[in-house]
Copies of this chain bind each other. A is one copy, B any other.
């Protein structure tokens, strides 16, 4: 029983049902829709011609006169027709008697995927003809009238879940792709979860939904912000990456519980699985501390969690940034499985193995180990090779696989220099079993943790390829990561510091005294929410003290003029405040088990930022650029070239 329900969940967790009937997904869509309102089943047939949806008819409806609207999914020998809407499928009996000639003609001649409206009576299927795989399988419709609402031309692909299509084709015909049960499920579930979040925030906890502008001015370091030319020469709006400044200003304005399902923009050029516009559940509160925000979010997710999944247990576990790095080699660990990193420097103080010796002789040098349980059973020899070369190729580091008790022994020659007492100590420390593989790496703490963190995920991928189900897709392991550093060395210039997150993040109260002496040691009041190895949210307690904010901006060498309004606001009775933003696209992607965030967005862009359906972005005639006082610099054609030359001539004369 348990394993069946688990397999249903696993199945539902797949991004695309392949080679199966659509029943389970349609069924789950309608089930969760019913559950969504708890108080009352939503009325799907109000205001329209139909009396019922296709998926809802059961034996209890037998005898009722119904009108249905839908798409022709399937037709069998001009006797039966299967009608589909978002709610499910229903069988319609095509009348065979003379008098129903026009109805028969309509239903038999319409191409598949045509839209029809039928009226008739719900009848029981003849005994033996029930279809238990279909939720409406006990009944069928004895049709009296039928109207072709719209005919369908030959489709570029069939609307069947088992028909595979390339993503490019799906995107080009997104409006057809949206008819798939998977896209219907994903987008309807998204709508429901967001609605539940709103109920939790607005109705249960008094949050105010406030819309903030998206035409704003560029923020310091806002290099990834899209620009929007205005009609004033040389003046541009920018599309902000988040409502960060506005939410803080709302706190100053006395809206002490704000939220918004906010559209945000980030121009990162071509990045797989990122979108130029994305959505975040944006939250800010006054008079709150980290604990308060964490409880709020735990309650929010628990309340809005889909009813067809196991309920979430709260509070979520938490790790400090330092712990996450040391144990999992990353600040967003996938805690659905173990394989933790262990510092074994002390075991190897007297080692004769060169690269371990080397590492330990340096100031921050460490030796770390990671145990792949049962690895010798699942890995092939080439897997071990691939792990070693991955370390060498991507990290320029050596990693030493060691089989301490395994029968299949692919130990490298160098392993013989591990002394027996070191072996015993490792076995003791790590609880090594017979078929376990240990990966040893050495070097500076952060670097070697990071290496083993990446290898941990590679090992997990390999083990799953080899048949070990390591990461249960039905398991949702939320984790808080806290106590991040406030500053990080600037990329390219390690002697300078930049904000690890953003310059409004408050330092940890117990570290403020280090701000000017050892700024790299200052922890922040930033927190990340991690789910199954992905960051799904992040936030912080903000600086509400103008002097401290100025101090930190000075330290960061940021242009304070760009933030003068915010600094001034902090002077005028700003309450202590903090907040968080959840990445809705990423969260929905993990919840639905989709293979890409594009599967939880109705009209996503390709990884190059294109809309393959409408072919946006698009060329714009020069006269439409004129009101904005801009022109294209890369000469795209003779027209632009001519314009540019004319303008320059005018200038020079």
Residues of A within 8 A of B (CB): 33, 36-37, 39-40, 42-44, 46-50, 69, 71, 85-86, 113-115, 117, 149-153, 155, 173-179, 183-184, 187-188, 191-192, 194-195, 198-199, 202-206, 208-218, 223, 226-239, 245-246, 249-250, 252-257, 263, 265, 267, 269, 276-277, 279, 285-289, 292-293, 295-296, 544-545, 565, 569-576, 601-603, 605, 609, 611, 613-620, 624-626, 628-637, 640-641, 644-645, 647-649, 651-652
Q: Which of B40, B198, B213, B218 contacts A277 (CB 8 A)?
A: B213
Q: A214-B277, A575-B150 are in contact. Are A234 and B636 (CB under 8 A)?
A: yes
CB–CB B619/A234 < 8 A:
yes
CB–CB A614/B651 < 8 A:
no
CB–CB B647/A86 < 8 A:
no
Interface-centre pick from A37, A204, A614 (highest chain B CB count, 10 A): A614
CB–CB A235/B618 < 8 A:
yes
CB–CB A234/B37 < 8 A:
no
Q: Which chain B positions have C-beta within 8 A of A635? A: 651
CB–CB A620/B573 < 8 A:
no
Q: Which of B42, B277, B571 contacts A202 (CB 8 A)?
A: B42
Closest chain B CB from A306 CB (angstroms) = 15
Q: Which of B153, B155, B237 contacts A616 (CB 8 A)?
A: B237
Give the oligomeric copy count: 2
Q: Which chain B positions have C-beta within 8 A of A288? A: 47-49
Closest chain B CB from A344 CB (angstroms) = 42
CB–CB A150/B576 < 8 A:
yes
A576→B267 CA distance, assembly (Å): 38
Q: Which of B174, B285, B617, B651 contacts A230 (CB 8 A)?
A: B617
- A contact face: mostly helix, strand, loop, or mixed: mixed
Which B-chain residue is minimally distant from A245 (CB atoms)? B614
Interface-centre pick from A117, A237, A640 (highest chain B CB count, 10 A): A237
CB–CB A575/B115 < 8 A:
yes
Which B-chain residue is minimally distant from A603 (CB atoms)? B213
Which B-chain residue is minimally distant from A252 (CB atoms)? B175
Q: Which of B155, B183, B285 contacts A47 (CB 8 A)?
A: B285
CB–CB A293/B605 < 8 A:
no
Q: Which of B49, B633, B640 contacts A287 (CB 8 A)?
A: B49
CB–CB A228/B228 < 8 A:
yes
Closest chain B CB from A597 CB (angstroms) = 12
Q: A179-B254, A254-B71 are in contact. Are A269 and B231 (CB under 8 A)?
A: yes
